[in-house]
């Protein structure tokens, strides 16, 4: 457990804690960073490590390495560089015929297959789900030893175009067709935690170096010339990756449906044969809970660091 949690105003009992692997395309946009920081500041989560993954080749052919560097940057800003391992994940899409097991995928296998761990294991995926597909292909036994939480794919019942899914359709379909316990947060649901830049300026930016960085990198990304005329909207953002963290804090057990996993077509549409195992599909997430938890933890972290009680 991170030493700073010893000084938090509350305790999380050992039997309530969970092991977590964070798999993220951290350099893709500007909201993965918020989810990473919230995870790092959540005492319930025993973070075992981070895996950097790719986000396609539409902007760069080094997207995984850029994500790796971004995770490292966040840890450095929080003075946590030596506290958590960071692994290089997949550099591109999953190839079912010649699957490549990245060091990140191997880490998922190794952590899942540990026999000495008491806490349940969750792996959260904030981008393409390539590394989970590769890990499962190499070691199907991991299916009974972890739960995957994925921010990705389109709304039910029809599916459709979605960024994380589009970066690796084959990987997602393999995971959907597996027996890995899966919590899916589809596009219409992960778009719910909406914030304004004014809100972030008031509630995130004041809290030290990491608060300033979170706000600044989002504001800078907002004005990059690479964007379409319609996105980002200019004065708002969706914290679309943060539900993967908040659902481990509270799983909102009245806000999901159990559905047979669909087959995923090349056009990212869903086909519902009903033959695959049920997965948990979220229909709603609590935006107030997600955002206020983040704001409070940033403030607590800043105050503890300032008092000398944090690392």
Q: Is residue 129 part of a domain?
A: yes
pTM metric for this prediction: 0.96
Cα Rg, the chain, nearest whole Å: 18
Is 165 part of a structural domain of the chain? yes
What is the rounded distance in angstroms from the CA atom of residue 189 to the CA atom of residue 37? 21
Among candidates 148, 138, 220, 168, which has minimal Cα distance to 63?
168
The gap between the terminal CA atoms of the chain, to the nearest Å, is 12
What CATH number corresponds to the domain at position 89? 3.90.245.10
Residue 200 lies in a domain: no
Q: Is 20 helix (H, G, I), strand (E, B) or coil?
A: strand
- Whole-angstrom Cα distance, residue 245 to residue 155? 20
- Answer yes or no: is 96 within a domain: yes
DSSP 14: G
Q: Is residue 199 part of a domain?
A: no
Q: Is residue 227 a part of any domain in this protein?
A: no
DSSP state at residue 159: B
Helices (H), 32-176: 32-40, 63-77, 103-112, 130-138, 163-166, 169-176
For residue 112, being part of any structural domain is answered with yes
- Is there a domain that residue 6 lies in? no
Domain that holds residue 161: 11-194+239-285
The pLDDT profile of the chain, 311 residues, written as one tens digit per residue, is: 688 899 999 999 999 999 999 999 999 999 999 999 999 999 999 999 999 999 998 889 899 999 999 999 999 999 999 999 999 999 999 998 888 899 999 999 999 999 998 999 999 999 999 999 999 999 999 999 999 999 999 999 999 999 999 999 999 999 999 999 999 999 999 999 999 999 999 999 999 999 999 999 999 999 887 777 678 888 999 999 999 999 999 999 999 999 999 999 999 999 999 999 999 999 999 999 999 999 999 999 999 988 766 65
For the chain, how many structural domains are there in total?
1
H helical segments located in the chain: 32-40, 63-77, 103-112, 130-138, 163-166, 169-176, 187-190, 197-203, 208-222, 243-249, 287-307
């Amino acid at each position: 457990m991170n030493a700073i949690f010893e000084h938090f105003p509350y305790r999380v009992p050992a039997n309530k804690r969970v092991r977590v692997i964070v798999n993220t395309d951290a350099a893709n946009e500007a909201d993965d960073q918020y989810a990473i920081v919230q995870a790092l500041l959540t005492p319930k989560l025993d973070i075992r490590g981070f895996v950097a993954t790719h986000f396609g080749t539409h902007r760069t052919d080094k997207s995984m390495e850029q994500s790796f560097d971004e995770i490292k940057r966040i840890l450095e800003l929080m003075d946590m560089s030596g506290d958590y391992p960071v692994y290089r994940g997949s550099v591109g899409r999953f190839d079912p015929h010649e699957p490549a097991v990245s060091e990140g995928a191997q880490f998922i296998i190794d952590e899942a297959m540990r026999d000495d761990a008491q806490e349940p294991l969750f792996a959260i995926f904030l981008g393409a789900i390539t590394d989970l597909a590769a890990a499962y292909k190499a070691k199907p036994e991991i299916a009974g030893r972890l739960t995957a939480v994925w921010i990705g794919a389109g709304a039910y019942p029809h599916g459709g175009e979605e960024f994380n899914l589009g970066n690796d359709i084959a990987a997602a379909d393999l995971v959907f067709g597996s027996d890995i316990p899966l919590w899916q947060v589809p596009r219409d649901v992960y778009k719910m935690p909406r914030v304004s830049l004014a809100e972030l300026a008031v509630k995130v930016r004041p809290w030290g170096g990491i608060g300033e960085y979170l706000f600044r990198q989002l504001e800078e990304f907002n004005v990059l010339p690479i964007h379409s005329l319609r996105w980002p909207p200019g004065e708002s953002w969706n914290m679309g990756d943060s539900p993967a963290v908040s659902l481990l804090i509270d799983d909102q057990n009245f806000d999901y449906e159990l559905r047979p996993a669909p087959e995923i077509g090349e056009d990212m549409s869903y086909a519902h044969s009903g033959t695959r195992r049920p997965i948990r599909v979220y229909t709603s997430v609590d935006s107030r809970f997600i955002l206020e938890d983040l704001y409070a933890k940033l403030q607590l972290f800043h105050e503890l660091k300032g008092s000398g009680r944090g690392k």
